[in-house]
Amino acid sequence: QSRADKENSSANMPITKRRCSLAAVSLVIALSSTLSKTATGFAYAPNFITKIIEQSTGIAPVGLLDVTGGSGSLAVTDADADITTSSESSPSFVGPITTRFPPEPNGYLHLGHAKAVSFNFAVARAFSAGKGRCHMRLDDTNPTKEDEEYVKSILEDVRWIQRGCPPFDVDDSVDAVELSEEDRGPWYGPVRKTSDYFSLIYDAAIHLIERGEAFVDELTAEEMREYRGTLTEVGKESPWRNRNIEENLELFRGMRNGDYPEGKYVLRAKI
């Protein structure tokens, strides 16, 4: 079915997959609006993620809901006061504090995606004192299930969810380039793709193998479940966990070259 046919058919249907996607987004925004709406988007209460960032950087988030007061009101924290306090408490931290929204382009956005968009962008804006930014990254690691229609739909929905919110200022020379129409959006810099980093990911895997922190396993999926153990039974190590580094490197390079059947080997971290 051509894209034109899809668009024509959707015009004659009360609810299509596309409209279900936007309906989910609308529901999230409707639910969020029952909390608090600020000039920079929807306000969230402090949570474990914002607390981890604050503890790690010494920078206090701004614009979060103040749920510590005894009056029961949900006031929004004072941005100027928090920025001053956080700047003084962590003079050595320069940032940036970066979040990302990384959907796989194999379908339309749903309710969980919509919440993730709102939350990741909100957290980045909450840490403006740490040069907060949110990246738009497509996890395009399974080309057999991905479609350009989904890519366009995802980007369109993210722009729609974040409409009216201020964009992130690009002050990095690497990202301060002329953006294509597809790259333009409320996120920081261009649209990023996981496939752009395959070489980096491969080099990182080699590094872990060389340090003895990863190994090439050949257990089947069923065997892995058996070895993992349960809530009442202790798991056991894979018999391939202690391969020597040279053998692991040879097998891993062969995996990259396609020398083995699909799924024969898998790289696992030693945890």
Tens digits of pLDDT across the chain (271 residues): 444 444 444 444 333 455 455 545 555 444 444 344 454 455 577 788 999 999 999 998 988 776 665 444 445 555 444 444 444 444 567 779 999 999 999 999 998 999 999 999 999 999 988 899 999 999 998 877 888 999 999 999 999 999 988 888 877 655 556 788 888 999 999 999 998 899 999 999 999 999 999 999 999 999 999 999 888 989 999 999 999 999 999 999 999 999 999 899 999 999 8
125 vs 77: CA distance, rounded Å: 13
Q: What pLDDT is stored for residue 22 in this prediction?
A: 53
205 vs 84: CA distance, rounded Å: 41
The answer to whether 97 and 130 are in contact (CB under 8 A) is: yes
Q: What pLDDT is stored for residue 67 in this prediction?
A: 62
Q: What pLDDT is stored for residue 239 in this prediction?
A: 96
Which amino acid, 17?
K
17 vs 23: CA distance, rounded Å: 10
Q: What pLDDT is stored for residue 13 in this prediction?
A: 39
Q: Output the six-digit token pair for 250.
A: 């040879």
Q: What pLDDT is stored for residue 64 in this prediction?
A: 79
Kindly report the number of other CB atoms within 10 A of residue 135's CB atom: 19
pTM given for the model:
0.69
82 vs 76: CA distance, rounded Å: 11
CA distances from residue 101 to 42, 68, 83, 231, 237 in whole angstroms, order as listed = 17, 29, 25, 33, 34
